[in-house]
Amino acid sequence: MAGDAVVPWTAARAAAQNLGVRCPAAVRLVALDDAVGAALAADLVALVGTPAYDAAAMDGYAVAGRGPWVVRGRLLAGSGEPPPDLRPGEAVEIATGAPVPGGTEAVLPYESAVCDDAATRVRGEIEPGRHVRWAGEDTRPGASVLAEGAVITPATAGLAASLGHDRLPVRRPTVDVLVSGDEITAAGIPAHGRVRDAIGPVLPGLVRWAGGEVVGVGRVADTFGDMLAALRSSADTKADVIAVCGASSKGPADHLRDALGTLGATPVVDGVACRPGHPQLLAHLGEPSSPGPVVVGLPGNPNAALVAALTLLAPLLAAAAGRPDPGSDSALPAALPVEGEVRPHHRDTRLVAVRVESGRVARPVGHDRPGSLRGAAMADAFAVIPPDWRGSSARLVWLPAG
């Protein structure tokens, strides 16, 4: 695969986002509990109003007209039968959530009510309309309550249920992960000369954070034939994105570029001017005018792979999901002063793990060599340090919080 020249870090992120816009994930209807974390693929519209009917907001008496009132019975929530209308001077004992009868002027709470000894008459001070949840006063049927692209939270799922929905339309791009390297051990204490897979466990959470879903994790040996076969098999699964961990460099055991070239892939980014994470790539199968599965190549070193995932994978997935990039969360500071020793690279953009203190300053945490995730595990974000940085503020790329 013959790619373009190494591109600046900001241009690489923009290219990933643009490709995600060109390759939107298909819309799927999913159950409410499965929708949390995804983005709405259409506006959330009320199928029913809230409240759906005129209901008591407190335990007490639904009353009509001026008091004192004659108590005609009792209403509980969930009875299913519409209550008879009240005439002026009548009341009905009522539980919170029960439908109020026609003619109800207000609900008189128990604590404000004075009953006679037989509990057949009640009196008290009322305010017209008080303590009644009137149908549609919060949301009217047909109202649009959340816009397309909003991230579905647990509260969103509950709101959707209250509005009559059982499922929601979402765009959740699917990701097939391929972990390459003969030295990689998937579990336990690695033997001499082998290392644990540290980036594979990072990706499911990071992919969910960006709006996607990991649908498979495969292991690939360090041969051209194995890499080619793995890419073909992954493409056959119809995953939207293939994330390859390792093999993105140009060493003797790195076969990703050659395999993509054999498959006729279209390069988008081939190398990014950043540290760590320089040997990363972005390509897609299919025709240039009709992109097929997108391939993101991540370096083998865990911290470098994390930086590459924040550079290419997260913006790509967020755009394909139709949602904002969570690494640039608008609710969090886009830039902060950086206090502590930071050495810009003479040519490339550096991404430095930082801890944000009191929301006002970012401080480097150290331990951020390409092969170590210790710094990232202690950090809130990466500070983006361009080659010409002269100190003071730096842009932040936020890390998943949990």
Higher pLDDT, 249 or 261: 261
How many residues does the structure list for the chain? 402
Confidence of residue 331 (pLDDT cuts 50, 70, 90): confident
**Residue ranges per domain, the chain?**
9-25+172-321, 55-133, 335-398
CATH 2.40.340 fits 335-398, yes or no: yes
At residue 126, φ and ψ (nearest 5 deg) are -125, 160
Over residues 204-232, mean pLDDT: 93
pLDDT (tens digit, 9 = 90+) per residue, 27-83? Answer: 999 999 999 989 999 999 999 999 989 999 999 999 999 989 999 999 998 877 778
Residues 6+ apart with CB under 8 A from 310: 327, 351, 382, 397, 399
**Cis amide linkage into residue 51, ω under 30° from 0:** yes
pLDDT (tens digit, 9 = 90+) per residue, 1-36? Answer: 544 578 999 999 999 999 999 999 999 999 999 999
Share of the chain above pLDDT 90, in %: 76
CA distances from 31 to 28, 122, 140, 205, 280 (A): 10, 47, 23, 20, 36
Class of 9-25+172-321 in CATH? alpha beta
Q: Would you give the distance in Å from CA 317 to the centre of its chain?
A: 10
pLDDT (tens digit, 9 = 90+) per residue, 82-135? Answer: 789 999 999 999 999 999 999 999 999 999 999 887 778 999 999 999 999 999
pLDDT (tens digit, 9 = 90+) per residue, 123-176? Answer: 999 999 999 999 999 999 999 999 999 999 999 999 999 999 999 999 999 999
Residue type, 269: V
Residue type, 242: I
pTM: 0.84
At residue 111, φ and ψ (nearest 5 deg) are -70, -15
Contact (Cβ atoms closer than 8 angstroms) between residue 84 and residue 73: no
Of 1.20.200.10, 3.90.1150.10, 2.170.190.11, 3.40.50.300, the CATH number of 55-133 is 2.170.190.11
